[in-house]
């Protein structure tokens, strides 16, 4: 059993942790874009502090298989500082608004070498970033994109659906016919009538079994 002193210590520690200010960064974990198009890398954040003019954003890029990330874009106090020798030279534009908790950027003319992880890091002193947001970017070839595939999927799906509906209707009509073949003679004999002459021997036997 925990003593009241231990419980009190735990409570104080918990309150202390809650007091530590932090910036929470939110990004989609994955994005898929076609080569040659412009992509917006969304990044939003919350801060326990009022957003000051000193707030800043750093975007880094880690290429597929690269050992570490390299920062390529810095934004603070209304000014963007794109890296000079970055692989995205001349293709990056600021697409956010720090006062609206938005730290997004856009990259134009996406190429296959842009595949990798994009890291969004926001600072709002005295807040401390706990975990920067990470986006894994995939680049798909233009022309072999999802719109072509979805048209094929839709066509195949429609054919399957039509076939299914056809099977269900045919099956239903077949059983309806079978049922009327059996029930009609049943109705007739109920009034001590003879089986109609066209009634087959099998149907008569079937009827007799049903009655038993």
Least separation in angstroms between residue 115's CB and ligand NAG is 12
Is 62 a binding residue for ligand NAG by CB under 6 A? The answer is no
Q: Which residue is nearest to ligand NAG (CB)?
A: 36
Is the Cβ of residue 87 or residue 181 nearer to ligand NAG in the bound state? Answer: 87
Q: Does 35 bind ligand NAG (CB under 6 A)?
A: yes
Contact 104, 95 (CB under 8 A): yes
CB of 141 to ligand NAG, least distance (A): 5
172 part of the interface to ligand NAG, by CB under 6 A: no
Among 11, 30, 36, 49, binds ligand NAG (CB under 6 A): 36
Residues 129-158 that bind ligand NAG (CB under 6 A): 141-142
Tokens of 120: 């969004």
Distance, CA of 160 to CA of 167 (rounded, Å): 11
Q: Decide: helix, strand or coil at residue 163.
A: helix
Q: What is the Cα Rg of the chain in Å?
A: 35
Q: Which residue has the tokens 């659906």?
A: 161
Any contact of residue 38 with ligand NAG (CB under 6 A)?
no
C-beta closer to ligand NAG: residue 30 or 141: 141
Q: Where are the beta strands (DSSP E) in the chain?
A: 22-26, 30-34, 39-41, 44-47, 56-63, 70-76, 79-82, 92-94, 105-107, 116-123, 128-129, 133-140
Residues of this chain that interact with ligand NAG (CB under 6 A) are: 35-36, 141-142
């Amino acid at each position: 059993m925990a003593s009241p002193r231990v419980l009190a210590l735990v409570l104080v520690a918990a309150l202390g942790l809650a007091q530590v200010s932090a910036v929470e960064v939110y990004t989609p974990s994955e994005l898929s874009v076609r080569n040659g198009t412009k992509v917006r890398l969304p990044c939003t954040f919350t801060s326990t502090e009022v957003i000051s003019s000193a707030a800043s954003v750093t975007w880094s890029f880690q290429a597929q298989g690269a050992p570490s990330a390299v920062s390529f874009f810095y934004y603070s106090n209304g000014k963007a500082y794109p890296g000079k020798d970055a692989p995205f030279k001349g293709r990056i534009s600021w697409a956010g608004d720090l006062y609206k908790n938005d730290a997004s950027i856009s990259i134009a003319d996406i190429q296959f070498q842009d595949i990798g992880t994009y890291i969004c890091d926001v600072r709002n002193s005295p807040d401390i970033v706990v975990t920067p947001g990470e986006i894994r970017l995939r680049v798909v070839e233009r022309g072999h994109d999802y719109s072509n595939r979805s048209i094929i999927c839709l066509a195949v799906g429609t054919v399957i659906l039509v076939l299914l509906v056809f099977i269900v209707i045919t099956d239903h009509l077949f059983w309806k016919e079978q049922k009327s073949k059996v029930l009609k003679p049943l109705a007739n004999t109920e009034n001590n009538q003879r089986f109609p002459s066209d009634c087959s021997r099998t149907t008569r036997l079937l009827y007799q079994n049903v009655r038993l």
